[in-house]
């Protein structure tokens, strides 16, 4: 049955392609929302970019019809900009009639009362708008099109039991899918296997699309770093494998997402030359109050946002320097003091500046990505839970030949500062679910906190 969908501004900013997601129903955009888009077009970052993109999509419809009368869409539905039905008398006292949200509610209420044969639904991602709408008896929905509907997000690994003989065969090179496995496995999904006859016998295997095979890179080192738990070994496997072109890694604070990704990137670019450069990308979404405009070049403006990358590089440099000094002491027969504070001889700033000047390291934000093709590069997108699905798609479509993309982040609600997304609709979970069936992609959820006892306590208790 055909419905009227009233679209709030935040839906258009969340997904500029919203026009094509409502099948054969009527899309109605209050003129107030177009005014709000106009006010947002010069906003820095994701919001401004999406506002401009949404306006372009709507403007394209002017070529095929009149937006006031309604334009027929390829899906069979229509879209129109609503200029009328803004009489606020349908609303009770208590509303601030100067607010745009109140005006949108009045338009929705008037359309619903004027056309009772067609269901009228307000689509919004604004919690307060939804509460007020419900109080008025208006049917309200969140924008569902790109929400992950799975009851549990794909983890990229699972626990199973097999016979010791089957586990031995996996270690020796791999086995075909055992008959005991009666569930769907995705390519590059990991199996944490325990023997049915010996609980202490454990093996990690990977499903390559046809068989369960052993890990290939379990004993390798990347820029001085080795994985320290099962999930990190799985992530390391995906990052090191040149056949896997897209990797997603999710996990809580201190689980090792950034440092493992950075270590492999520096190993692949600086030590091995497998890629020409590493590009570290981060969405510019402040946690808390924004500090405002930052002067300087693009690199200077981005530096405060790249703290996680700088911290990872510094920790890797310190660990590598410590390992080198300890090795020299062992050769000289000196006793090693495990509590001695180690400092790297080269500062992290000079290290990164050196490789930025040589073109082997780049730091970027999404603002400058449209139109680019990133070839022969390892691209790490940190805090990717802050992106919208639209922006995640934009980023992945930048992939050129010889590139590898890595999305990392924590998709839980308490780690999302972008008001356009939540734990079920952000770009990280969207790409995890959409990209899991393919042979050139892989995902791992890191579940153990390795940063410090305090970090582990805070992650569990708070």
Residue 170 lies in a domain: no
At 255-284, the pLDDT tens digits run 999 999 999 999 999 999 999 999 999 876
Is residue 264 domain-resident?
yes
pLDDT tens digits, residue range 420-449? 888 888 999 999 999 999 999 999 999 988
Residue where a domain stops, chosen among 85, 111, 141: 141
**pLDDT range class, residue 13, cuts 50, 70, 90:** very high
Same domain (yes/no): 245, 385: yes
For residues 68 and 81, the answer to whether their CB atoms sit within 8 Å is yes
Produce one character per residue of 423-449: b if its CB has 16 or more CB atoms within 10 Å, e if not: bbbbbbbbbbbbbbeeeebbbbbbebb
Residue 339, pLDDT above cutoff 50:
no
Q: pLDDT above 70 covers what percent of the chain?
A: 86
Is pLDDT larger for residue 1 or for residue 375?
375
Inside any domain, residue 149 = no
pTM above 0.85, yes or no: no
Q: Picking from 14-23, 47-56, 450-459, which range would have the lowest pLDDT averaged per residue?
A: 450-459
430: domain CATH number is 3.40.50.300
Three-class DSSP category at 198? coil
Alpha carbons within 13 angstroms on the beta-carbon side of residue 366 total 27
End-to-end C-alpha distance for the chain, whole angstroms: 46
What is the structure's pLDDT at 375? 95
Domain boundaries, position 109? 3-141
How many domains does the chain fold into? 2
DSSP summary character for residue 63: G
204: part of which helix (H) or strand (E)?
Answer: strand 202-207
Looking at the structure, do residues 319 and 451 belong to the same domain, yes or no?
yes
Query: Are residue 367 and residue 277 in the same domain, yes or no?
Result: yes
- Structure confidence at residue 227 (pLDDT): 93
Strand order of the β-sheet with 277-281 is: 361-364, 277-281, 377-381, 404-409, 246-251, 441-446
Q: Is the pLDDT of residue 410 over 80?
A: yes
Q: Are residues 235 and 372 in the same domain?
A: yes
Residues 301 and 413 in one domain: yes
Q: Decide the pairing of beta strands 26-30 and 3-7.
A: parallel
Is pLDDT at 18 greater than 70 in this prediction?
yes
Average pLDDT over residues 106-135: 94
pLDDT digits 0-9 by tens, 122-172: 999 999 999 999 999 999 999 987 777 666 889 999 999 999 999 999 999
- Is pLDDT of 336 > 60? no
**Same domain as 403, residue 294:** yes
Rounded Cα distance, 287 and 416, in Å: 8
Would you say residue 74 has pLDDT above 50?
yes
User: What is the reported pLDDT for 413?
Assistant: 78
Of 123, 141, 159, which residue is a domain's last?
Answer: 141
3-state SS, 265-277, equals: HHHHHHHCCCCCE
Question: For tokens 């000289």, what's the residue?
Answer: 332
- Same-domain pairing of 125 and 237: no
- Rounded Cα gap, residues 241 and 259, in angstroms: 17
Average pLDDT, the chain: 87
Per-residue pLDDT for 341 more than 50?
no
Q: Of the residues 88, 106, 141, which one is the last residue of a structural domain?
A: 141
CATH code, domain carrying 33 = 3.40.50.1010
**Tokens 């002491």 map to which residue?**
329
Q: Report the share of the chain in percent with pLDDT over 90.
A: 63
240 or 369: whose pLDDT is higher? 240
Domain match, 413 and 289 both = yes
Question: Are residues 251 and 116 located together in one domain of the fold?
Answer: no
Of 216, 223, 219, 272, give the one whose Cα is nearest residue 244: 216
Helix, strand, coil abundance in the chain, percent, nearest 5: 40, 20, 40
Residue 306 inside a domain? The answer is yes
Average pLDDT over residues 66-72: 93
Residue 286 above 60 pLDDT? no
- Judged against a pLDDT cut of 80, whether residue 383 lies above it is answered with yes
87 in a structural domain: yes
H or E stretch at 141? strand 139-141
> Which of 98-112, 212-226, 443-457 is predicted least confidently?
443-457
402 belongs to a structural domain: yes
Same domain, yes or no, for 101 and 241? no
- What pLDDT score does 459 carry? 63
Is there a single domain that holds both residue 238 and residue 357? yes
DSSP string for 374-397: B-SEEEEETTGGGS-HHHHHHHHT
- Residue 410: inside a domain, yes or no? yes
pLDDT in tens, 297-316: 556 666 666 878 888 898 88
Q: Which two tokens stand for residue 278?
A: 């590493």
CA–CA distance, 94 with 183 (Å, rounded to integer): 55
Is there a domain that residue 201 lies in? Answer: no
Q: pLDDT band for 328, please (50, 70, 90 cuts).
A: low
């Amino acid at each position: 049955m055909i419905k009227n969908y009233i679209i709030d501004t935040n839906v258009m900013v969340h997904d500029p392609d919203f026009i094509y997601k409502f099948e054969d129903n009527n899309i109605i955009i209050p003129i107030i929302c177009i005014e709000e888009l106009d006010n947002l077009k010069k906003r820095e970052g994701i919001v401004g970019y999406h506002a401009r993109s949404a306006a372009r999509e709507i403007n394209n419809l002017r070529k095929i019809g009149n937006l006031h009368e309604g334009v027929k869409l390829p899906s069979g539905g229509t879209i129109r900009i609503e200029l009328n039905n803004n009489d606020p008398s349908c609303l009770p006292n208590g509303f601030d009639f100067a607010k745009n949200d109140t005006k949108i509610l009045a338009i929705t209420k008037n359309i619903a009362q004027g056309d009772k044969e067609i269901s009228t639904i307000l689509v919004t991602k604004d919690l307060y708008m939804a509460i007020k709408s419900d109080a008025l008896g208006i049917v309200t929905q969140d924008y569902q099109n790109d929400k992950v509907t799975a009851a549990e997000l794909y983890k990229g690994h699972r626990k199973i039991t097999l016979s010791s003989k089957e586990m031995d065969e996996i270690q020796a090179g791999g086995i075909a899918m055992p008959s005991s496995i009666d569930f769907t496995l995705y390519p590059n999904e990991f199996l944490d296997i325990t023997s049915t006859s010996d609980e202490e016998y454990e093996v990690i295997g990977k499903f390559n699309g046809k068989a369960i095979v052993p890990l290939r890179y379990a004993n390798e080192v990347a820029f001085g770093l080795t994985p320290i738990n099962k999930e990190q070994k799985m992530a390391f496997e995906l990052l090191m494998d040149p056949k896997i072109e897209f990797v997603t890694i999710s996990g809580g604070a201190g689980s090792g997402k950034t440092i493992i990704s950075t270590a492999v990137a520096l190993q692949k670019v600086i030590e091995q030359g497998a890629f020409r450069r590493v590009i570290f990308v981060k969405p510019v979404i402040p946690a808390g109050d924004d500090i405002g405009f930052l002067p300087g070049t693009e690199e200077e403006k981005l530096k405060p946002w790249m703290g996680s990358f700088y911290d990872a590089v510094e920790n890797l440099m310190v660990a590598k320097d410590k390992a080198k000094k300890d090795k020299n002491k062992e050769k000289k027969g000196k006793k090693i003091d495990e509590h001695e504070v180690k400092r790297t001889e080269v500062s992290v700033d000079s290290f990164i500046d050196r490789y930025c000047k040589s073109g082997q390291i780049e730091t970027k934000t999404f603002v400058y990505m449209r139109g680019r093709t990133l070839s022969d590069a390892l691209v790490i997108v940190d805090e990717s839970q802050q992106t919208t699905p639209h922006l995640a798609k934009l980023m992945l479509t930048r992939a050129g030949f010889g590139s590898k993309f890595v999305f990392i982040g924590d998709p839980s609600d308490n780690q999302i500062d972008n008001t356009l997304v939540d734990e079920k609709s952000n770009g990280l979970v969207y790409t995890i679910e959409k990209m899991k069936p393919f042979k050139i992609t892989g995902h791992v959820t890191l579940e153990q906190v390795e940063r410090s006892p305090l970090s582990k306590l805070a992650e569990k208790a708070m």
